[in-house]
Amino acid sequence: MSLEKQKLIMLPGPTNVSERVMKAMTRPIINHRGPEFGKLFLGLREKAKSLFQTGGEVVLFSSSGTGGVEAAVWNIIRKGDTAIVPVFGEFSERLAETVELAGGRAVRVKADYGTTPTLAQLGRAIEGPREFKALFLVHNETSTGTAVQYVEEACRLAKAHDAFVVVDAISSLGGYSIPVDGWGVDLCATASQKCIAAPPGMALVSVSERLLKYLKKSPPATRYFDIARYSDYGSRGETPFTPALPIFYALDEALDELLEEGLANRVKRHEVNSAALYAGLGKLGLKFFAATEVRSRTVVAVRYPAGVDDATFRKKLSEEFGILVAGGFGPFKGKMFRVGCMGLVSGESVDATIGAVEKTLKSIHGVAR
C-alpha cells in the first residue's frame, strides 16, 4: 500500500492530525496498571475537564463516538423508561433507535432534515408525557450539517422536570463551547477525531455528580461501557479495561495543543473558518442543505448542482487537489457533499478547499455555477 502522502482532510471527522500528535502515538508501550499510566491518565482527565468546562467526572472509552453515545443510553435507560429525542438527521434517529434497543420508549420530536425542531416544539414534548427519564439531544447533526441553537434552554426545560440531559456533542465540542456544568448537562459525549484533532479511537464522556450518584446505585447491563466502573477505576488512575494506549497518548498531546491555543480561541477559529467556507462556497453559487439559521459550524453540507456526479467530483477533488470531503449520508448519498471544519482547519485550508471546489466544478461543468 502506498498511502504515504498526507492529504488535506476536510471531512466531518476524522480530521488532520498534527505531526506532534502523530508522533506521540509511538511512545513506548507501558503497563496500564502501572504508575506511569496513572500519571498520564490523571493529567489527561484534567485536560478533558477543561474542554468540557466541568469540575465533575470525565470518563474515557476505547471506542468510537458511537460507543460513547451507546454508553449514555445503556447507562441511563432501563426497560420501560421514556426519553425525549429530537430527531432531525441520521445520528439523532440512531440515538432514538438505541434508546429502543435498550428497552426504552423514545418520544421523537421530529423536524425535516436540514432544519432542527424548534425550541417551542421541544417544549411541548417536554410538557407532554407525564414522566420522562432523560432528554437525548444531538447538538450537531453530522449527516445534515445542522446544529441545535438552544442547548442551554433545552437543558433548563428538561431539568425543570428532573430529567437527565444528555448532549451528543461528538462532532461539535471544541468547535463550540459547551459549558456542561454551567448549562446543567448531565452527560456530554465527544470523540477524539473531531474538533480535538486526535486520531480516532477514543470517546470522551462527561458525567454530572447527580448522574454518577444514580449510576452507582443502579448499575447498567453493559460492563464494557459501565460509567460508574470507569469512574471508580479512574479515581486510582486506571481504566477498567485495557485502553487503546497509542490513542491515549495522542489524545493527551492533542488536548495539550488545544489548551495551548485556548478553548475560546479554538471555538472562535471554528466560527471564523466555517463562516468563510459558507461565504466562499456560496459565492460559487452553491446551495447549502441546512437552513441558514441552523447551519453547523463544524460540518458544511452542500447540495450538488444538477448534473454533478458525487463519485466523479470527490475523486477529482482528492486526486487533483489532494483534498478529501465526505459524501452524503444515508438517503442523501449522491445528493450532497459535506465539508468538515474541525480541529486544525485554518484560513489557508478553507481557501484551498474553496478554490479546489471551484476548479473541480468548472472542469466537470465547464462553468462554476
Are residues 116 and 167 in contact, defined by beta-carbon separation less than 8 angstroms? no
What residues pair up with 191 in beta bridges, in sequence order? 203
Q: Which of 176, 165, 173, 190 is CA-nearest to residue 66? A: 190
Question: Taking the complex as a whole, how short is the minimal distance between the CB of residue 242 and a copy of itself, in angstroms?
Answer: 4
**Burial of 263 by CB count in 10 Å (0-12 exposed, 13-18 middle, 19+ buried)?**
middle
Question: Taking the complex as a whole, how short is the minimal distance between the CB of residue 145 and a copy of itself, in angstroms?
Answer: 16
Nearer CB in complex with a copy of itself: 29/367: 29
Enumerate binding residues for a copy of itself (CB under 8 A): 1, 3-7, 9, 11, 13-17, 22-23, 25-34, 36, 39-40, 43, 62-67, 70, 94, 97-98, 101-103, 191, 193, 199-202, 221-225, 240-247, 250, 318, 324, 326-327
Q: Can you tell me the distance from the alpha carbon of 250 to that of 40, in angstroms, rounded to the nearest whole number?
A: 11
Question: Taking the complex as a whole, how short is the minimal distance between the CB of residue 119 and a copy of itself, in angstroms?
Answer: 29
Q: Can you tell me the distance from the alpha carbon of 366 to that of 360, in angstroms, rounded to the nearest whole number?
A: 9
Residue 323's φ and ψ, nearest 5 degrees, are -120, 130
Question: Taking the complex as a whole, how short is the minimal distance between the CB of residue 43 and a copy of itself, in angstroms?
Answer: 8
Are residues 11 and 340 in contact, defined by beta-carbon separation less than 8 angstroms? yes
Q: Can you tell me the distance from the alpha carbon of 154 to that of 222, in angstroms, rounded to the nearest whole number?
A: 28
Nearer CB in complex with a copy of itself: 79/130: 79
Length of the chain: 369
Question: Taking the complex as a whole, how short is the minimal distance between the CB of residue 336 and a copy of itself, in angstroms?
Answer: 14
Question: Taking the complex as a whole, how short is the minimal distance between the CB of residue 206 and a copy of itself, in angstroms?
Answer: 19
How many helices (H) and strands (E) would you count in the chain?
Answer: 13, 14
Q: By three-state DSSP, how is residue 88 classified?
A: coil
Nearer CB in complex with a copy of itself: 183/230: 230
What residues pair up with 326 in beta bridges, in sequence order? 338
Nearer CB in complex with a copy of itself: 126/166: 166
Element at 169 (helix H, strand E):
none
Nearer CB in complex with a copy of itself: 53/192: 192
> Cell numbers 467530483 label which residue?
313
Q: What are the C-alpha distances in Å from 362 to residues 79, 160, 307?
A: 55, 54, 12
Q: Can you tell me the distance from the alpha carbon of 105 to that of 331, in angstroms, rounded to the nearest whole number?
A: 25
Work out the end-to-end distance of the chain between its first and last CA atoms, rounded to an integer number of angstroms: 37
Nearer CB in complex with a copy of itself: 246/280: 246
Question: Taking the complex as a whole, how short is the minimal distance between the CB of residue 153 and a copy of itself, in angstroms?
Answer: 29
Q: Can you tell me the distance from the alpha carbon of 6 to that of 322, in angstroms, rounded to the nearest whole number?
A: 8
Nearer CB in complex with a copy of itself: 53/172: 172
Nearer CB in complex with a copy of itself: 91/164: 91
Question: Taking the complex as a whole, how short is the minimal distance between the CB of residue 248 and a copy of itself, in angstroms?
Answer: 9
